[in-house]
Structure 1
Amino acid sequence: MSMSRLPAATVRRLQKLPQIPSVWEGDRHSLPSSPVAGSQPSPGEGECILWVDGVQGVVRAMEVVPAGSGMEPMVRALIAAMERPNAGLPARPQKIVVRNREVQFFLRGILHELDIKVEYQPELPLIDEILQSFAEAQEQIPPPLPENYAELLASKAFTLWQDAPWEYLEDHHILAIELHQWDVETLYVSIMGRAGMEYGVIFYRSLPSLKQFRQQARQADPAEMEEVFLRQDCLYLTFQPRHPELEDWPNLDLAELDPEEIEPNFGTIHPLEGLRGVLQEEEAATLAVALEALHCFLKQYRRKLEKGFQPCQGQYCVPNPQGEALSVQVRTLPELAAELLALEEEKPTQALLREDLLPEGAQLGLGLLPWATVEVLRRAGQVHPLPQSKLVQKGEGLPVVIVRTSRSKAKQLIENLRGEGGPQGICFNTGVDPFDGHRYELEIVQTGNRDLHLFGEFPKDDPVHSRARRRWERRCRDTGGCCGLVIAMGANSHQPELPVHHILALFEMQALSPKRLGLGPLVRVSRHLHF
């Protein structure tokens, strides 16, 4: 209880609200399940704060907060219930009741200037009724997988993760799995993960659906992509971090995590139904058989496919969760793969990346500025902060992209960056050169005018860059994604450390994921890189 009084300005503002003859109930309960009144939430769970108008019978405020976050969130939610209610008009109640003595004493001290009585009541009928409805609704939500398939599909998914077909198959290397079961004749399989972004398998129920999606996804702008995505007709298995907070890490590659940190996610998409993360029994059985057949095929032909996508075919006797074993054929579709690759390599109408910002001969690198150096630059007026942003000074320092060039070119680059609205963020994305088959990691900076600029291009298998990238990602995690762009003079300097007096500007940026910028793997066409 570090703060025991509201600011005087806040009190005056709340006193202007009309006071209504109403009693509000307030409580907090643990998530995801609704506990018995008075029980304590388990460590690490979230909690839901409720403020309910007992006269009108409406929820005025509901907020989810981390467990153990103290009593201040109760006050914040109450102020929201008064000023910005989910239902009803802004107002102050005459009385509030809570069923926790400690909360009562805390709120009594906070609210005495607002003429609001705070009373203790062991039972809160309206909130208990709401919690009961939450619990009943939770019970009615079906599990993502039928009970007798959850363990089976998890095992098949883990086997596929160990098979790691994305190490040698591209997403246009389509496989056909002939089932002739559960209203499915053939599944057309696309492997995701070669680009190091999203890992999984898409099982298209028809070839037209696969082709249509790839054609439309190529032509759609970012605002249309969600609708294009929902027009697919497929089952899918994707992999995600077991801990949700890892999804916010910039440039996270699941392949770098331990297997126990990965969990599978199953679902289906249909143009008339949209995305559904709950599978019916026949859909679960279809996936179980398809995944087992795919595993058998990969086990038989991995070495051959590692040398190139070529004709391969296998017939397998696969256990059927709903009856007798099935004979399933799996084969590659090289001609379709060539057709899809040609579609990807068609020249788009507009270039995606600009390459005209960096001066000729500029040297680039990933580095670190100690926080003391950042403060020196700030006092010298050489730091260009992002609007409404504050650097999180955690870890050993600020991760930065360093551009070294001559003094005159550095000054011109700084002016050019200002003219573009300043650098806002940076991401690392996969680039593919279809002419030599090589893969690259592209260092892409987004400026304030939403343009994307290519800053660096590194071979995917470059060990020096890979080590620098791992350090960069670790440091960005420490700072919550805060990073910077350093413009320095001394392009021919070979000093391992960057002298402070060589730094002419430090622009604050955010480390971004390619997904946030709407990017997928980029394909080189002539001298430029495009979708």
Structure 2
Amino acid sequence: MSALNRSTCRRLQKLRQAPSVWEGDRRVLSSDFAIRGEAGERIQGECVLWVDGTEGLVRAMDVVPPDAGHEAVVRTLLQAMEHPHSPAPPARPQKIVVCDREIQFFLRGVLQDLDIVVDYVPELPLIDEIFQGLQGIARTHPPQLPPELVEPVLKAAQSIWDDAPWELLDEEKVIAVELNYGDVKTLYVSVLGMLGMEFGLLMYRSLDSLKTFRQRVLEAGESSEELEGAFLDQDCLYITFDQNDADSPLSEPEMGSLLAEFVEHNGVYPTFGNLHPLEGMRPVLYDEEAETVLLALTALHRFFNSHLERLTVEGFPKITGRYRIAHPKEAGQKLTIKVSSLPDIAEELAEMSAEAGFSDEMPGLTMPVLRNDLIPEDAFYSLGAMPWEVFNLLRSTVKLHQEAKTDFPQTADGFPVILIQTSRPKATRLIEEIQAAGGLRAICFNPGEDPFSDERYDLGVLQTENDELHLFGEFVEDDPVHIQARKKWDQRCKKTKGNCGLVVAKGFKGASRGNPSLNDMLALFEVRSISSNELGLGSLQLMPFLD
């Protein structure tokens, strides 16, 4: 059995010992609280909970894998003592009660130097009440889609994903879908995804809502409050395809295997929902809304299948199509739906951007600036230095070597490199994509921020020879480890006269993760390190569309 470090014990002994009794336990959660395992699979989690039974406060809670040992209970207990969730101050309890004999004996051994009594009781009424509340919330959580519409809506979503309209159309190229179904006459569709960051469709219930949102975003500049207000005031239905599945809901029991198959097949997670000034953002479609979205997606797919190749950012002519679509509720009945491109509206939105001082190359508007689809999601990345003897050996042994355009001194304590490590197939594909772009031109770090959390980042950027910019990593700006790493990076690049490198390696699991051997390194790109001023993007903001 593991024991606490003596320094940890001394630190905990300094905490005030409160005259209170804490309850602790771990419980299996419903599938609504599934978590991600090490291999990326979804598994049913367990919740570790510590509450102050005297004050009736939750002090700490954590969700852990079911195979986590009793150490997980201790880790959450230490958090409850030193960094409680509640407004209660840090403290040690006089007594702890648990309803599991194994946990009791384990805690007695671990906490023996902290003057805490650990007792067994058959029931924990306060924890029972909290868990019943959690499970009740899960049971009342509405599904994203009505169960009877899951299959047809996901099928329609698959068709849109296959059409990939964002490869040709930006957000200003508006398409009208005249439904005349229920309370909805026409939806005005704006396509998300040309930035390569988030793919989907915004289906506005009115042109005024679309135009107002665009205008408010342009006027907001870098004001996070104005951006958030503009986002929440939209009146639209939406579908997005989330590439970062880790941030998506981990369980949708009502959508079952159909959703799992969609995610496995496409590598993206479809999300459906509604935005309204009085409701805010609701990631749920009720019956009439889901029927409306089904009709719109089906008609759009028919339209894209016939005309998408004629529609681009540069050329967006007036095109209209009429389609007979099956009624979502009445078998054998069909509806006539008209779909039209709106070049006049696209021109008006472009003029709006121009008047606000935004060019087509401004981030977050119309043209791609910073993409995040080059680096595999599960890749390991880091910045550091390679010893010169290893660097010189790698130059002659690596399968793909892009040489520096000029000679440079080897006077620094190592060659500054960005390491990207992933599986062999993904590493090979990454190398091929860089080669297809003409090679790698430069590496840069550019400031960025999340306006809603006020978190600031140092964004790692790769510039390819075809002028595309690719995000390879996000580093928290005030992280002391990254601050030191950036400082050393800048010092080394100065000594190498601005030369640095990108190493692509395989073998990102086990002992080789972050420490690849020479045989694991598949490519070395020697490039320039440029400043954010040379890159010319300015500080980038996470745009509040549907993230």
TM over 0.5: yes
Provide the residue aligned with 2:132 in structure 1. Answer: 132
Please give the alpha-carbon distance, in whole angstroms, between the structure 2 residues aligned to 1:162 and 1:60. 48
Aligned partner of 2:26 in structure 1 is: 28
> 1:304 pairs with 302, 305, 310, which one?
310
| Alpha-carbon offset, residue 91 of structure 1 | 3.4
Distance 1:442 1:174 in 2: 36
Aligned AA (2:71): E
Kept in 2, the 8 Å contact 1:47–1:64? The answer is: yes
Return the alpha-carbon distance in structure 1 between the equivalents of residues 230 and 538 of structure 2. Answer: 16
Counterpart pick for 1:279 among 279, 285, 291:
285
Name the CA shift for 1:516/1:246 in 2 (closer, same or farther; >3 Å). farther
Q: Provide the residue aligned with 2:323 in structure 1.
A: 316
Identity, in percent, stands at: 41
SS of the counterpart of 1:202?
A: strand
Task: Confirm whether residue 327 of structure 1 aligns to residue 336 of structure 2.
Answer: yes
Code of the residue aligned with 2:50 in structure 1: it is W
Distance 1:371 1:341 in 2: 39
TM-score (normalised: structure 2): 0.64
Matches within 5 A, 1:166-315: 166-222=166-222, 223=224, 224-241=226-243, 243-244=245-246, 259-305=265-311, 308-315=315-322
What value does the CA root-mean-square deviation take over the aligned residues? 5.1
Q: What is the alpha-carbon distance in structure 1 between the residues aligned to residue 48 and residue 69 of structure 2?
A: 12
Q: Contact (CA 8 Å) 1:404, 1:489: kept in 2 or not? A: no
Q: Write the deviation string for residues 326-348 of structure 1: whole angstroms up to 9, x where unpaired.
A: 21111111121122223334462
AA in 1 matched with 2:329: Q
Equivalent pair of 1:33/1:135 in contact (CA under 8 Å): no
SS at match of 1:267: strand
Matched, 1:151 2:151: yes
Q: Name the residue aligned to 1:141.
A: 141
User: 1:453, 1:34 → 2: CA distance?
Assistant: 35
Structure 2 residue runs without a partner (length 5+): 34-40, 250-262, 363-374, 376-380, 389-396, 413-417, 419-439, 449-455, 474-480, 504-517, 519-525
Moved more, 279-288 or 93-102: 93-102
One of 5, 8, 13 as aligned partner of 1:7: 5
Separation (CA, whole Å) in 2 of partners of 1:506 and 1:71:
47
Paired residue for 1:108? 108
Deviations 1:182-229 (A, max 9, x none): 222211111122232211111011111111111221232332322221
Q: Residue 524 of structure 1 aligns with which residue?
A: none
CA deviation digits over 1:222-269, x for unaligned, max 9? 32322221121111010013731799xxxxxxxxx9734222100111
Checking the alignment, whether the CA contact within 8 Å between 1:311 and 1:331 is kept in structure 2 is yes
Distance 2:499 2:458 in 1: 29
Cα deviation for residue 489 of structure 1 reads 4.5
Give how far 1:175 is off: 0.7
Q: 1:442 to 1:194 in 2, by over 3 A?
A: farther
Indicate if the aligned counterparts of 1:268 and 1:279 stay in contact, CA closer than 8 A: yes
The 3-state SS of whatever aligns with 2:202 is: strand
Give, in whole Å, the separation in 2 of the partners of 1:339 and 1:264: 31
In structure 1, stretches of 5+ residues that fail to align are: 36-41, 248-256, 354-365, 378-395, 412-422, 424-439, 474-479, 498-502, 521-531
Tell me if structure 1 keeps the 8 A contact 2:443–2:530. Answer: no
Deviations 1:30-57 (A, max 9, x none): 344499xxxxxx9844332111223333
Q: Structure 1 376/90 Cα, relative in aligned 2: closer, same or farther at 3 Å?
A: same
Q: Distance in 2 between matches of 1:441 and 1:301?
A: 37
**Amino acid of the residue matched to residue 192 of structure 2?**
M
- Give the aligned residue type for 1:27: D
Q: State the distance in 2 between where 1:46 and 1:403 align.
A: 49
Q: 2:478 aligns to what?
A: none
What is the correspondence of 1:362-441 to structure 2 with a 5 Å cutoff? 374=385, 376=387
Q: Distance in 2 between matches of 1:350 and 1:300?
A: 31
- Quote the Cα distance in structure 2 between the aligned partners of 1:450 and 1:93: 39
2:277 aligned partner, one-letter code: P
The separation in 2 between residues aligned to 1:156 and 1:112, in whole angstroms, is 61
User: Does the aligned pair in 1 maintain the 2:232–2:281 contact within 8 Å?
Assistant: yes
**Residues 319, 341 of structure 2: 8 Å contact kept:** yes
Q: Tell me if the contact between 1:297 and 1:330 (Cα under 8 Å) persists in the aligned partners.
A: yes
CA deviation vs aligned residue, 1:446-469 (integer Å, no higher than 9, x gap): 2699999999564269xxx9xxx7
My pick for the range that moved more, 160-169 or 203-212, is 160-169
- SS of 2:130's equivalent in the other structure is helix
In terms of mean alpha carbon deviation, does 189-198 or 6-15 score higher? 6-15
Instruction: For 1:157, give the aligned amino acid.
Output: A
- Whether the 8 Å contact between 1:313 and 1:332 is mirrored in structure 2 is yes
TM-score, normalised to structure 1, is 0.65
Distance in 1 between residues matched to 2:134 and 2:153, nearest whole Å: 29
SS of aligned partner of 1:259:
helix
How many angstroms does 1:66 deviate by? 4.1
Q: In the aligned structure 2, how far is the partner of 1:456 from the partner of 1:372?
A: 16
Task: Name the aligned partner's letter for residue 287 of structure 2.
Answer: E
Q: Distance in 1 between matches of 2:79 and 2:54?
A: 18
Contact 2:163-2:304 at 8 Å conserved across structures: yes
Aligned length: 420
The letter of the residue matching 1:318 is I
**One-letter identity of the residue aligned with 2:230:** V
